[in-house]
Structure 1
């Protein structure tokens, strides 16, 4: 893996760890992701109600900006639904240890190695390949990802975003095409 990819992974970890939050623990942060920031009820799709998804491939998905300025969505990783922060600055998908296990990936944190450099030093984790991620009504197969030690929120990075189609920002909306 080249230095740029390692730098991007480190940057991804730094952003995730430095993300402002009103919560005191990663568990509470993950629980908040499941709560829609517009205070309305979740839709039948399991996606936060700030998200609308066209029912067919090639449609448009519109995401509302969360209260902390980030964009959130749910995605299915290897058939398991879980919350994600959309991170356009991340080179690849980054999963929490719990997220990886839910997706059927065996990860032993004692075997993690340095996979990048963050603001607070070396970042430890494990590089993996996901069979598939389903997001915004689309399926992406054979996705490069990393499971990161200490990560509190799953991050949806460029290893998926570039394969979905276009991404547009307009005020407090993100549109995936």
Structure 2
């Protein structure tokens, strides 16, 4: 009798319908993160995280994402239909930035054609860099810059204010941008300050920051 009951229970388990696979569309791809629309709901997912629908992000980069559902892994690329509709609704040049694990926004760009990595700093008045950065960018800041004093957490710091003829973030280009070069090794990173940010449109949706051309 017990064997019959056990067999019947096993048959019920085997015949039970599997959970329907959710509809997934990739909206934006980042390093180890993805913005996806899962069953109609937009969600930001980081590597190792699992959604309420049971979708887990295994890995992601700027080209593709690997998602797992009920033990099955599939590779996804940016959804063409969503990408086209977003492009129509946005200005021609748009950059979407996701924060890192510490909540810091990093973005690749260029100064005078030299590739750089910016730390987005909405509290910085100007684009700011140290003297090593400036020398790598061939900025003759001591002869062409305007001397000034910058107030920092560690005290006063001598800076030179220079004019950058072209600064780019993604395909967004801004000309004649003021920058402060510290005659020291501060700051550690090149700060993307308000002398650039105030010349573009910036908004946030959840954790994502979006920069776009301002016309």
TM > 0.5 = yes
Q: Which has the larger radius of gyration?
A: 2
Distance in 2 (CA, whole Å) between partners of 1:101 and 1:156 is: 18
Query: If each structure's helix is expressed as a fraction of its own residues, which one has the higher value?
Result: 1
Whether contact under 8 Å (2:146, 2:162) holds in the other structure is no
Gapped regions of structure 1 (runs ≥ 5): 1-35, 44-53
Q: Does 1:158 align with 2:187?
A: no
Distance 1:79 1:120, change over 3 A: same
Q: Deviation string for 1:55-103 (max 9, x for gaps)? A: x973321100111111110111001001010111111100222221222
**Partner of residue 97 from structure 2, selected from 63, 75, 100:** 63
What runs of 5+ residues in structure 2 fail to find an aligned partner?
Answer: 1-30, 34-58, 64-86
Which residue does 2:169 correspond to in 1? 135
TM-score normalised by structure 1 residue count: 0.63
Tell me the distance in 1 between the aligned counterparts of 2:171 and 2:195: 17
Please state how far the C-alpha of 1:113 moved relative to its aligned partner.
Answer: 5.7
Displaced runs of 4+ in structure 1, greater than 4 A? 36-43, 111-114
Q: State the Cα distance separating 1:170 from its structure 2 match.
A: 2.1
- Asked if residue 174 in structure 1 is aligned to residue 205 in structure 2, the reply is no
Contact preservation (8 Å) 2:141, 2:162? no
C-alpha distance in 2 between matches for 1:104 and 1:37: 34
Q: TM-score, normalised by structure 2?
A: 0.53
Rounded to whole Å, the distance in 1 between the matches of 2:173 and 2:187 is 24
- Which residue of structure 2 aligns with residue 102 of structure 1? 136
